[in-house]
Chains A and B, each alone.
Chain A
């Protein structure tokens, strides 16, 4: 393209709709970072499409001045698949919640990821059903007391990152709603990845599950509870960067004090490892036993579904020529009835 794109700003991506999330909902912060990141991508505004399911988080497309589809509960990945197949040049974002993506829509999520469609899935994990006013969700910790589980939930939660890795995701990352710089950087990387990018964002539901992720977002707590992943770098964390993660003799991670230990003995992150074992091991590091990893766990390149579909179509056109209707109608045995 020779014509320069007009310089867009966050404001250009704001729709004229009044935002209706509760005060101090974590969704605001994610929206702000998205509006900040999109203008940096060098893509015209009309090429963005946001698709969502149902939930508080899924209201997101209404607040973006792009193409958008607020659909039905759980189906956003499937809807996005149709959008992308019909209109492959679009940059398609799926906005979904923990209930939307992992409960009612678990099947679609799994298949979008394993197909490696070139879309970006952002899962707003607040460990609760926000829109329906506070029932436990598939990511709520065991024992969660909610409207539908007054005695505590008795089913084991899913780990969104483990699910994504299990589905052979090519890009898996985690960030936190209020960790604005990290979130922006993570969204940017998700946008630039070819194939399905899966990002879990810890999101505070201020009304029904306030504080669920304060351990990972609040100053004074988070330093010891999260570890930022950097490709090729050792896993180091702590306020004084005095702790690290090392693999023990059984290949399991352990937290070690850095004093007296060489950095070289720590676990080094390799997001591009072909084998997903490391990514899975990182995903399994959960609070409070471990600091939880933030950043990109996995970033590999695989066949991209929509590209492969397009390639088949163009290959068919090249080898068979543009479809010839006369030939098609007259295929097989024909006969003529004379007048």
Chain B
């Protein structure tokens, strides 16, 4: 049996052009929803839409099949316009089983399209999902949506019939059937996915064939069923001219580090211990050995951080990555990096806390940990990437600041930025500024080496072990400025504490000034940071279109703040600080500038919806 390619335009049915669509695929963790979502993203990105994604992983890898705990989702917003978020409400929801329907239907827009695998709605699955009835029965329950009950399991089996697959093998192609149907609905070209399947399953041609047949089966079903009366077209977006690819935040971090290693005269040594959602950085980097990247999977985060201090002392660009629980373990060794004044970057891909918290969900609740989570006076520069693609640049900036100022730097990413994807304009390697690594090669004072002799920015030199004449000792004990010898005197400790703090403050002269989007003064400033960029920018722009006097300042540099931040803050009557925590930036801004900033907080493991920020802006302006 061979499956015909679906005709391009079905007769008697209309095609509508729309600018922005949000789709969510959801099903059991084993249903391949991440794959379906990623394929849809790739195809849409290659087609030229702007895209923004929000994968939603279950906390358990192997939660019981069919339960709400095991539901995995992938949301993608694709548009012919410039978009910043994966969307507030879902236009089309694909639910592969009752549990997926139950836990996701609330996000589906009224009047939205609901596609369910009706075959999965049998007694045992319904029970596992906690339904005491079948929500597909009767008209009441899902009346607000355009419901398409599709027997996907059966149709998938039909599509792959004759390939000699077992039933469970055949059923594994269901996600491709669903994908094919959605491709038809949104007029997507399935070719890139077919190519991907061919390469991915090159060694298992029958599986490749099954997936492609299921994909086409889904498209054909959409085409030939009267149920789908319209299908849609989302034209390419007008992105800035250039070459694009799709990138996630963690991929971008890894690529940024490979770039740093390749372009500068020091190698990167990355030490890490697996933890969601940071592990992908280790996975990606471990492929980049030929760029001058060494990866070390340590025995725990304490070891990873300690090895990072050791690698920095050894003369490498040292990096570690983790998430909240691991960052807690790193605290003591981060302090060691701070007091020895060695350059390194600590990446914190934030997730819901405290403790193990919500491992797979996003949050911004480690800001105060990054600021203050060490004993003693130990300020560190903090940089937060704002989008997946921005991670590429932010990690390089973090390393640049680390090396320029001889200090550990914290990069505060989050689960949303790390796993989310967006189109990314491919840079030219030759346009990227290398990180300048200057190792001292000769004694710096009267034929002697003084490892803590500082320049005018208070930065000490970096001497690589192996360099003759620069033998020296560093350590966690308080030291005398200049010589670095152990020194406990009261005046010296005051001097050194002040000096280290001033050095970090001096980073403000090195980083760019804060930019604002909107009027330079007015009623309201929305001040946000890190991964909430998209929702806040979109909400502010919408309010501006309504004629509101509101501007947006999105911080990438959280410590020290950009030097013009205070004057920006003072140029507006009110300041609103939306954060995915209970008010951490707020606390710092209020205490630093004595300004009565208003907090807007959310800790639900989810990013802000645009509408939430938009409504808050209006509330404030109306009050």
Of the 9-residue stretches B142-150, B220-228, B237-245, B404-412, which lies at the interface with chain A? B237-245
**CB atoms of A79 and B472 under 8 A apart:** no
Contacts of B296 in A (CB 8 A): 81-82, 85, 309
Do B471 and A45 touch across chains, with their CB atoms under 8 A apart?
yes
Q: Decide if B485 is an interface residue (CB 8 Å cutoff).
A: yes
In chain B, what residue has the closest Cβ to A333? B46
Q: Give the number of residues in A that approach B within 8 Å (Cβ atoms).
A: 60
B548 within 8 A of A: no
Judge whether B314 and A323 touch: CB under 8 Å. Answer: no
Q: Which of A70, A313, A329 contacts B245 (CB 8 A)?
A: A329
In the assembled complex, the CB of A305 is this many whole angstroms from the nearest CB of chain B, namely 9
B426–A87 touching, CB < 8 Å: no
Of B239, B302, B318, B465, the contact of A67 (CB 8 Å cutoff): B465
B314 touches A46 (CB 8 A): no
- Those of B393-441 within 8 Å (CB) of chain A: 426-429, 432
In the complex, what's the smallest C-beta–C-beta distance from A24 to chain B, in angstroms? 22
Given contacts A61-B475, A108-B303, A317-B289, whether A83 and B465 have CB atoms under 8 Å apart is yes
Docked complex Cα distance between A203 and B469 (Å): 32
Q: Is the CB of A72 within 8 A of B332?
A: yes
Chain B residues whose C-beta falls within 8 Å of the C-beta of A90 in the assembled complex? 314, 465-466
Chain A residues with CB under 8 A of B255: 328-329
B429 to chain A, nearest CB (A): 4
B368 at the A/B interface (Cβ < 8 Å)?
no
Q: Please report whether the interface of chain B is mostly helix, strand, loop or mixed according to DSSP.
A: mixed
A331 to B472 CA separation, bound complex (whole angstroms): 44
Distance A71 CA – B340 CA, assembled complex (angstroms)? 9
Is there a chain B Cβ closer than 8 Å to A15's Cβ?
yes
- Our pick among A47, A82, A309 for the contact of B307 (Cβ within 8 Å) is A82
Q: How far is the CA of A86 from the CA of B266 in the complex (A)?
A: 9
Q: Is the CB of A332 within 8 A of B292?
A: no
Enumerate chain B residues within 8 angstroms of A66, measured Cβ to Cβ. 471
CB distance from A289 to the nearest CB of B (A): 35
Q: Which chain A residues lie closer than 8 Å to B426 at the CB level?
A: 329-330, 334
We find that the number of chain B residues with CB closer than 8 angstroms to chain A is 75
- Interchain CB contact under 8 A, B46 and A46: no
Contacts of A328 in B (CB 8 A): 255, 258, 288, 291
Give the complex CA separation of A336 and B269 in angstroms: 34
- B299 near A: Cβ within 8 Å? yes
Q: Mark A258-292, 1 if CB is under 8 A from B, else 0.
A: 00000000000000000000000000000000000
| Binary per-residue interface labels of chain A (57-92) against chain B in the complex, 1 for a CB within 8 Å, 0 otherwise | 000011011111111100100111111111101100
Instruction: Return chain A residues, CB-CB under 8 Å to B46.
Output: 333-335
Chain B positions 158-217 with a Cβ under 8 Å from a chain A Cβ: 192
Nearest CB to that of B295 among chain A residues?
A: A309
Residue A338, interface by CB 8 Å: yes
B42, B263, B314, B476: the one within 8 Å of A333 (CB): B42
Does A207 belong to the interface (CB within 8 Å)? no
Q: How far does the Cβ of B163 sit from chain A's closest Cβ, in whole Å? A: 27
Assuming the contacts A89-B466, A328-B255, A329-B426, asked whether A313 and B299 have C-beta atoms less than 8 A apart, the reply is no
> Does B617 reach chain A (CB closer than 8 Å)?
no
Contact A85 B475, beta carbon cutoff 8 Å: no
Within the complex, which residue of A87, A320, A326 is in contact with B429, where a contact is CB–CB below 8 Å? A326
21 pairs of residues in contact across A and B, judged by CB atoms under 8 Å: A46-B470, A61-B473, A68-B473, A71-B309, A78-B303, A79-B310, A81-B310, A82-B306, A85-B310, A90-B465, A108-B306, A313-B294, A317-B289, A317-B290, A320-B290, A323-B288, A325-B258, A329-B429, A333-B46, A334-B243, A339-B241
Q: What is the interface of chain A, defined by CB distance below 8 A to chain B?
A: 15, 17, 44-47, 49, 51, 54, 61-62, 64-72, 75, 78-87, 89-90, 107-108, 110-111, 309, 312-313, 316-317, 320-323, 325-326, 328-339
19 new A-B contacts at CB < 8 Å, known A78-B306, A82-B318, A87-B316: A17-B486, A46-B467, A54-B476, A64-B473, A67-B466, A68-B473, A69-B313, A70-B476, A78-B310, A80-B310, A83-B313, A85-B316, A309-B296, A312-B289, A323-B261, A323-B291, A325-B258, A325-B263, A334-B244
